[in-house]
Every structure is written in structure tokens, then in C-alpha cells.
Structure 1
Amino acid sequence: MQATASYKIFFIGDSAATIDFGNIINEEINKKAISLFNYLSQHPLEGTIEAIPAYSSVTIYMNVPLLRKKISPEKKVYEWITKELHKIMLQDLEDTQPEKNVVRIPVCYEDQFATDIHWLAEQKNISHQDIIRIHTSRQYRVYMLGFLPGFAYMAEVDDQVAVPRKAQPQWILAGSVGIAGKQTGIYPLNSPGGWQIIGRTPLKMFDKDETEPCLLKAGEYVQFYPITKDEFEDHQSRSI
């Protein structure tokens, strides 16, 4: 990342600072955010509690009482944090980008698991099979995790299958694959949700007992591929 990269720093209360690169869904901007997050993970600022990446920003949560003991009494904590973040932004952060990692995820698009696929087909005047073909035809970038543990926000879906979220949330089962606008995602847990459901994966997207509880990470890519109901049930039985 070049020192000329456009960004803003603003504070959330007195214990968190956000570096924002532009409030849009854009792969290049997201790469800047992930590069910064990776750098902060490898070279954390003194007093950092954690850093959290989002679509176009990174928020750093700080231990303010600790920082007040560490920095000069003449300096305010937010001034020190701002100065340190500006110094980091002068670094070449491109080296922190990992190699492209593509995670293949099986999805059963049959009616039992795809409660909204026929509605989507009617809205877009395409067939059930067209939706499957289009949804599995590209790789999706994981822009961020949020909403639920392990819920990966991925983009961008083809305009042919892009649809608004539901007007009212409904109960969604874990593993359900949905579309909302230009985004696609997988519900990691049973939860209310408003995305249009077009299938379900037998994979566990979140497992609290694993060393890495979330199957996906921000900055990775996902390739969906279709499976039958029998293959879905076979995978589930082997996972128990």
C-alpha cells in the first residue's frame, strides 16, 4: 500500500479508532483494509486489544488505561494513536497480502434447502438451473465476517441473480446459502435472517471447539459447487 492511499481516521468513543478507505464494496479497497489488518496482526500497536477488518475499514480497540501509563503525560491518547496510525500508513503494506486461497464449498440447491429459489427464478425470469449455473460460475471474495460468528459477507454476485433481502426476517437454518443485493453468504448458525435462500451446505461454517472456529477468513475466495441431496446427507452423516 502506498503512502498516498486515501484514508480517514476517526474515533469510536475514547478506546477505538477506525481507519476507513471509502465506504463502498470494492475489491481493491477491501485489499487495502485486509493488508492493514494483517500488518496490525503481525506488528500490533502497543496497547492494542484487537483489530477488526470490515469491507473498507479496520477498527482497532485499545487499552486506554495502559496507554495512559505508557505515553507522555503531555500527550493525549487519541493524538498518540493517530500519529502511530499515520506512521503505519507510510509502510508498504502490500507485502502482508497472503497468496490467493480458494475454498470450495458444496451446496445442495434442491427445493428442500432452497426455500426462495423459485421466487428468485420468477423475479428474474430464469430457470432454477440457471440460478445454480450462475451462482457457481464465479469465485466470491470474502470481504468480512460479521453479524454472526463465522458469517462471511461475499461479493459480487451476477446481476442476473442479485435480489433485495426479504421485507421481514425469517428463521434460517445453519448452512443456508443466501443472496442479498450483490452479496452472497452462508448462515453459520440457526438464526433470524433476511437473505433470499437458494441452497444449503453441509459444511460447518463455525465450530467453537476448533482451534480456528471460523471456516472462512476475510480476504479468501469461495467457489461454490452443486451437490445432490444424497451427497448432502452423506456428507452430514460423515461429519457427525
Structure 2
Amino acid sequence: MFEIQVYGDRGLRITLGDSISKETNDRIRSFSSLLEDENIKGVIEWIPTYTSISIFYDPALISYDSLRERMNSLYENISLIDVPPADVITIPVCYSKEYGPDLTNVSKHNQLTEEEVIKIHTEPDYLIYMMGFSPGFPYLGGMSEKIATPRLSSPRAKIEAGSVGIAGSQTGIYPLESPGGWQIIGRTPLKLYNPKSDHPILLRSGNYIRFTPVTEEEYQTIENAVLMGTYKPKRELFKGGEKG
């Protein structure tokens, strides 16, 4: 599937699939790689989503018709591009009562023990389909239906940054303190968004994340290292499900 649509007076949207899947995500990553290599004058930025890429441009430097023609030409080469290799970033999470106030809710809803919920939650590598909602927020795929749980009936006014939650069949991480209705099962000491860093966004669409449980003591140690700027998240090449 390949479809180009007008997206405002300075943008166009390219749809590369009609379903949320790894195959569609691979096509989006390949096309993004082509855009990066092409470095088209006038293109300001592009934003990958579940099934499309939104491209924003300066009409003083390139017209819509010219950009559309360039996009058609690029698409002809998409089959020649290998999908860029993906990394797996390990996210340490403390699943204690203090950091995971809704872990009991999730376990009771699914008739599991809290230990079983943690085990199921940390088993897969989660594909980051896209980024959005707030700076650094990853939209993840791959959570087991065994721990799917509805949102809270009454959202909280404040959820701490780094909180790991479940909403329906999705899991995610709050990069900033904000209101929210997800079931909070743990928290990571890592900063998903740090405006003071040269690389303010920790995660990137097309990569994977791997949750790993840590104790409260380990959480505090990592948090201190993060604050001092000495902590480096574990990052390795994705091997198609093999865990190193």
C-alpha cells in the first residue's frame, strides 16, 4: 500500500499500510531511511506513526507537487532498502508497592499472582511502533493478553515520571509527570525525556525495549547514577526474540 495525501498547507502524509503490524513498521522504517539518505532540500522533518509518515516541508523551498514526485520516486526504491537494524534498550523497573500501586489490581483482574504479572510483563521484547502523546512516550506492541487490564475508572491527577502502566492490552511508560488513568505496576528511574541532554529522547521508533525487574535498593542506585549523568542504559542489537 502506498498513498499520498495533503496534510495541511505545509505537509503531506504517506500511508504505507492499513494495519498495525511489524511488516508495516518495517516499511515505514525503510522509507524513513530513504528520506534520511535523500536529505531533500525544503523537508523540515518527518514523523513516523503506526501506518504512515507525516512529512513537513517549507513551500518556499519545495512545492507540494515537486515533493510528491520525489516521494513517488523514492517509493520505487523501497524494496532495495534493507530494514535498518533495531536495538533493544533495557528498562529497569521496580515493581514494589510504592512504585506499582496498581499491581494488585492487575493481578486480581487476571487471576494471577503479582509475581506472575511481573514475569509475564518482563518476558517479551516490546516493539516501539511510534513516539507521541508527550515527549518521549513510546507506543509499544507485544504485551500479553494475560495481563490486559482496563484503565482506572477514575484517573489520577498526578502520575510520576517513569511510571510503567497497563491500559487495556497496551503497556507504556510515562516520560513526564502528568494526569492519567493507566494501571501503574512499576516505575523506572531512567529519564525518557531529558531536555538538558544532547539527545533528549531516550527511545526511538523501530527499536525495542526490554523491561527488567530491580529492587528498591537497585532503583535508588540507578536513579542516583542517572542524576549524576553516569548511567548508561544497556543497549544491544535485536536478535529476533533471543535475549542476551
Cα drift, residue 22 of structure 1: 2.9
Partner of 1:9: 4
**Superposition map of 1:28-43 within 5 A:** 28-43=23-38
- Asked if 1:21 is matched to 2:50, the reply is no
Question: 1:166 and 1:84, CA in 2 relative to 1: closer, same or farther beyond 3 A?
Answer: farther
Cα drift, residue 187 of structure 1: 0.9
Q: Distance in 2 between matches of 1:107 and 1:180?
A: 17
**What one-letter code is carried by the residue in structure 1 that aligns with 2:12?**
A
Aligned with 1:31: secondary structure? helix
Cα drift, residue 50 of structure 1: 0.6
**What one-letter code is carried by the residue in structure 1 that aligns with 2:102?**
D
**What one-letter code is carried by the residue in structure 2 that aligns with 1:234?**
T
- Asked if 1:82 is matched to 2:77, the reply is no
Unaligned runs of 5+ in 2: 228-244
**What one-letter code is carried by the residue in structure 1 that aligns with 2:134?**
L
Cα drift, residue 96 of structure 1: 5.2
Question: 1:27 and 1:47, CA in 2 relative to 1: closer, same or farther beyond 3 A?
Answer: same
Partner of 1:164: 150
Cα drift, residue 64 of structure 1: 1.1
Cα drift, residue 94 of structure 1: 5.8
What is the root-mean-square deviation in Å for CA atoms of aligned residues? 1.6
* Aligned length in residues: 226
Q: Distance in 1 between matches of 2:133 and 2:80?
A: 28
Runs of 4+ aligned residues of structure 1 deviating over 4 Å after TM superposition are none
Unaligned runs of 5+ in 1: 1-5, 68-76
**What one-letter code is carried by the residue in structure 2 that aligns with 1:17?**
L
- Asked if 1:191 is matched to 2:186, the reply is no
**TM-score normalized with structure 1 length:** 0.88
Partner of 2:119: 133
**Superposition map of 1:1-240 within 5 A:** 6-67=1-62, 77-92=63-78, 95=81, 97-170=83-156, 171-240=158-227
Partner of 2:239: none
Question: 1:157 and 1:96, CA in 2 relative to 1: closer, same or farther beyond 3 A?
Answer: same
Q: Distance in 1 between matches of 2:2 and 2:154?
A: 36
Percent identity, aligned pairs only, is: 37
**What one-letter code is carried by the residue in structure 1 that aligns with 2:109?**
Q
**What one-letter code is carried by the residue in structure 2 that aligns with 1:149?**
P
Q: Distance in 1 between matches of 2:37 and 2:101?
A: 43
Question: 1:108 and 1:94, CA in 2 relative to 1: closer, same or farther beyond 3 A?
Answer: farther
Question: 1:33 and 1:126, CA in 2 relative to 1: closer, same or farther beyond 3 A?
Answer: same
Deviates more, 1:125-134 or 1:97-106: 97-106
Q: Distance in 1 between matches of 2:82 and 2:44?
A: 20
